[in-house]
Amino acid sequence: MIQVHNFCAGPCLLPDEVYKGAAEAVLDFNGSGLSLLSISHRSKEFMAVLEEAQQLALSLLGLEGKGYSALFLQGGASMEFLRVPYNLMKSKAGYINTGNWSSKAMAQATAFGEVSVLASSEDRNYSYIPQQINIPSGLDYVHYTSNNTIYGTQWQDIPQADCPIVCDMSSDIYSRVYDCEQIDLIYAGAQKNIGPAGLSVVLVRDSIFGKTGRSIPQMMDYAEHIDKGSLYHTANVFGIYTCLLNLRWLRNLGGVQAIEKINNQKAATLYSAIDELDYVVGLADVEYRSKMNVTFDFKEERMKEIFDTLCKEASILNIKGHRVAGGYRASLYNALKQQSVDALVEVLHAMKTKI
């Protein structure tokens, strides 16, 4: 295969051994003579996969044995924008708006009650994380997005409230040490740091349900999915198995503590170049910079064509910013190697001789 450096924001890179293991299972799953794509989602072989994936999903974040359930659902994080208020909103919920995905989550919640915007960074194009937020009592839950994929900002702390805390952790889950036990419901689209697109992973404290007073369709009911062990409907067998391979890889690497050190180094390498080079501009405020999604641009429009050409020559792919934000974005998810970051930094420095 051609050696490329893929900075895609999602679906993202997975470790080489995960690709290999998933490919082998498609041909012959665990020596069964059957393809992974053809085994029953209720077979003992897949039940073992699902149970191990659920266990690792919780244990890697320190949530095993703490009253949480792990769900592997279909629809991605966008489905959870809807499921969360369906299950938790009785009359009023608080949302902190730090980007496009927060806004989409808020839009879904308005169908179930009042949405209180507790704080927003929209005034400066989502370049920072609001601080000193006054969260009133009596809300059904508070929702925030831990890492803002499009704008390149990231929370360092966790909002405090007298109600359940809900976090969309799609783009930085399993990337850093974070006190997840302070959060009552974590959801994430799998396609950032967990597995292939099409799945959402939900880690939820079991005690927060049953308080809305509404009748919830079974497909949307978290309690129903917990009761059925993520098997209310036919499971995404391939997706969950690939997630398991990736979670095993992370465990064998040393867990979240180990990958955080690697991720910190990758981010430091790239941000150092951005700050050093006077023709590059970081788009997020320094104190709120994401270590997963680094956003930047150039001071002059003509520099973009030079950069694009050099990236193509260096086999650097998917570096353009999101269509709503423009500029450039380098996504540094767990499986991205330091060599790829070094290649990007080399291109940034090479522009000196071209401009």
CB 234 within 8 A of CB 147: no
In 10 A of CB 292, how many CB atoms? 29
Decide if 192 is catalytic.
yes
Q: What is the pLDDT along the chain (355 residues), one digit of tens a residue?
A: 678 999 999 998 999 999 999 999 999 999 999 999 999 999 999 999 999 999 999 999 999 999 999 999 999 999 999 999 999 999 999 999 999 999 999 999 999 999 999 999 999 999 999 999 999 999 999 999 999 999 999 999 999 999 999 999 999 999 999 999 999 999 999 999 999 999 999 999 999 998 998 999 999 999 999 999 999 999 999 999 999 999 999 999 999 999 999 999 999 999 999 999 999 999 999 999 999 999 999 999 999 999 999 999 999 999 999 999 999 999 999 999 999 999 999 999 999 988 7
| Separation of alpha carbons 191 and 167, rounded Å | 17
DSSP class of residue 261 equals H
Catalytic-labelled residue, pool 155, 172, 184, 192: 192
- Catalytic site residue from 101, 140, 184, 266: 101
**Quick count: other Cβ atoms within 10 Å of Cβ 350?**
14
Catalytic-labelled residue, pool 140, 155, 168, 297: 168
Q: How far is CA 97 from CA 39, 101, 116, 172, 305, in A?
A: 42, 8, 10, 17, 33
The Cα 293–Cα 329 span in angstroms is: 6
**Annotated catalytic, 101?**
yes
Q: Full-prediction pTM beyond 0.75?
A: yes
Tell me, rounded to whole angstroms, the distance of Cα 180 from its chain centroid. Answer: 14
CB-based contact 245:319 (threshold 8 Å): no
* E strand residue ranges, the chain: 5-6, 68-74, 92-97, 114-120, 142-145, 147-148, 153-154, 165-168, 185-189, 199-205, 280-282, 293-298, 316-317, 328-331
Domains and CATH numbers, the chain: 16-253 (3.40.640.10), 255-353 (3.90.1150.10)
352 part of the active site: no
Q: How far apart are CA 288 and CA 19, in angstroms?
A: 33
* Whether the Cβ atoms of residue 237 and residue 43 lie closer than 8 Å to each other: no
